[in-house]
Chains A and B, each alone.
Chain A
Amino acid sequence: MQLRQQLRQFIVDNFLYGRASGLADDTSFLDAGIIDSTGVLELISHLEQTYSVHMEDHELVPDNLDSINKLAAFLKRKTKQRDAGAIHNAS
Chain B
Amino acid sequence: MQVEEFLERSAERLPGKTALVCGPRRLSYKEIESQCNRLANGLLSAGLARWDRVAVYLDNSVEAAVAVFAILKAGGVFLVVNPTTKAEKLAYVLNDCRATALITSAEKLDRVRECLAQRPHLKVLIVAGAAEEQQIGDKRLLPLEGILACASEQRPVKRSIDIDLAALIYTSGSTGKPKGVMVTHLNIVSAATSITSYLENTTADVILNLLPLSFDYGLYQLLMAFKIGGTLVLEPSFAYFYPLIETLVREQVTGLPLVPTIASILLQHDLSKYSFPHLQYITNTAAALPTQQIRDLRRLFPQVKIYSMYGLTECKRVSYLPPAQIDVRPGSVGRGMPNEEVYIVDENGNRVGPGVVGELVVRGSNVMKGYWELPEETERVLKPGPFPGEKVLYTGDLFTSDAEGYLYWVGRKDDIIKTRGEKVSPKEVEDVLYSLPGIADAAVVGVPDEVLGSAIKAYVTQMPGARLSEQDVLRHCREHLEDLMVPKFIEFRDRMPTTQNGKINKRALTEVGALE
Contacts and interface: CB of A to CB of B under 8 A. Distances in A.
Interface of A: 13, 16-19, 30-31, 33, 35-41, 57-62, 65
Contacts of A38: 261, 265
B242 interface: yes
Interface size class of B (residues with CB under 8 A): 20 to 34
Interface stretch (B38-46, B232-240, B317-325, B402-410): B232-240
A18 B475 contact: yes
B348 interface: no
Contacts of B243: 61-62
Interface in B272-321: 273
B237 A36 contact: yes
B95 interface: no
Nearest to B271: A57
Contacts of B84: 33
Contact of A60 (B237, B241, B474, B478): B241
B501 interface: no
B135 interface: no
Interface of B: 84, 107, 236-243, 245, 261-262, 265, 268-270, 273, 469, 471-472, 474-475, 478, 483
15 contacts: A17-B472, A17-B474, A18-B475, A33-B84, A37-B240, A37-B262, A38-B261, A39-B239, A40-B240, A41-B268, A57-B273, A58-B242, A60-B242, A61-B240, A61-B243
Contacts, number: 55
Contacts of A65: 240
A41 B240 contact: no
A33 B212 CA distance: 14
A67 B471 CA distance: 22
A30 B239 contact: yes
A74 to B, nearest CB: 13
Contacts of A37: 237-240, 261-262, 265
Contacts of B240: 37, 40, 60-62, 65
A30 B265 contact: no
Given A18-B471, A39-B239, A61-B243, 7 more contacts: A13-B471, A17-B471, A17-B478, A18-B475, A37-B237, A57-B241, A57-B270
Nearest to A15: B478
Contacts of B273: 57
B245 A57 contact: yes
Greatest chain B CB density within 10 A among A31, A37, A40, A61 is at A37
